[in-house]
Amino acid sequence: GFNENLNNPEIYDESMEIQFSSIIKAFHPDIIHVFGTEFPHTLAVAKTFNNPGRILIGLQGIISLCAENYYADLPNKIIHYSTFRDLIKKDNIEKQKEKFDLRGKHEIEALKLVRNITGRTEFDKQAAASINPDANYYSMNETMRSPFYSDKWELAYCRKHRIFFSQADYPLKGLHYLLQALPKILLHYPDTEVVVAGKSIVKSRTLKDRIKIGGYGKYLRSYINEWELGLRIEFLGKLSAEEMKEQYLLCHTYVCASSL
């Protein structure tokens, strides 16, 4: 195994190179397959294993492009605004983007050091080619967890006018786009409801909630209050694979509003 600070993935720790050098020396791998470019261990492996033709990096998200699109059309005053939580953690939207920028640089450096990349979409393929045109690209759809291979969505059994949003933790996911559209949707479908997987980033019922809320959550909260959308939106908390599947089956519409 190896040690990595997952709480600060923007920090590149050179000591990981020593760890991987020891692992590689002991194990003598023929091929190393790295899943994702989100964390700095990918770069550490690419720098340590001196055989770029025998490293395979699988793309899960293009961090450098996430960084470029992180602000997601938010107003400047929101980008630079800090709540109490943001000041303490030095983690407002502007700082979050800076961290993604650093992670993106590590990603680009790692992808340039290898000769084999896998992905699932044309988007992945084009992104990989723009970073390392000399690398071999392989299409590889990954197996999902078993619950997603049973049952089938049917209009007759879904909840009419129920919108499912699968993640909204940070601006890139684009929940604010849906909130901006929701008043217009409600004019035509007044019984519309929006359910969001994951923890509520807009919760402000208690003093603790108000202390912990971040700038993006506060922006969403203000929009919800302005348009009186509170009764139309529910955050479901962390869901299992089976629970996620049930939400897909229940909803009338699934929305992916990512700015990317």
Would you place residue 184 in the very low, low, confident or very high pLDDT band (cuts 50, 70, 90)? very high
SS3 133: coil
pLDDT digits (tens, 9 = 90+) for 101-137: 999 999 999 999 999 999 999 999 999 999 999 999 9
68 burial class (0-12, 13-18, 19+ CB within 10 angstroms)?
Answer: middle
Between CA 15 and CA 94 the distance in angstroms is: 29
pLDDT digits (tens, 9 = 90+) for 37-96: 999 999 999 999 989 999 999 999 899 999 999 999 999 999 999 999 999 999 999 999
Tokens of 116: 């084999």
Q: What string of DSSP letters covers 206-219?
A: SHHHHHH--HHHHH
Over residues 229-250, the mean pLDDT reads 96
Over residues 196-209, the mean pLDDT reads 93
Q: What is the pTM of this model?
A: 0.92
Q: Of 32, 29, 3, 37, which is closest to residue 17 (Cα–Cα)?
A: 3
Q: What percent of the chain has pLDDT over 90?
A: 96
23 burial class (0-12, 13-18, 19+ CB within 10 angstroms)?
Answer: middle
Please say whether the beta carbons of 178 and 232 come within 8 A.
Answer: no
Over 90: is that where the pLDDT of 1 sits?
Answer: no
Q: Of 117, 139, 140, which is closest to residue 128 (Cα–Cα)?
A: 117
Task: List, in sequence order, the alpha helices (H) in 29-174.
Answer: 41-48, 63-68, 76-79, 84-89, 93-112, 122-131
Please say whether the beta carbons of 247 and 237 come within 8 A.
Answer: no
SS3 content of the chain, % helix, strand, coil (to 5): 50, 10, 40
Over residues 195-201, the mean pLDDT reads 95
Q: What is the pLDDT of residue 142?
A: 83
Would you place residue 216 in the very low, low, confident or very high pLDDT band (cuts 50, 70, 90)? very high
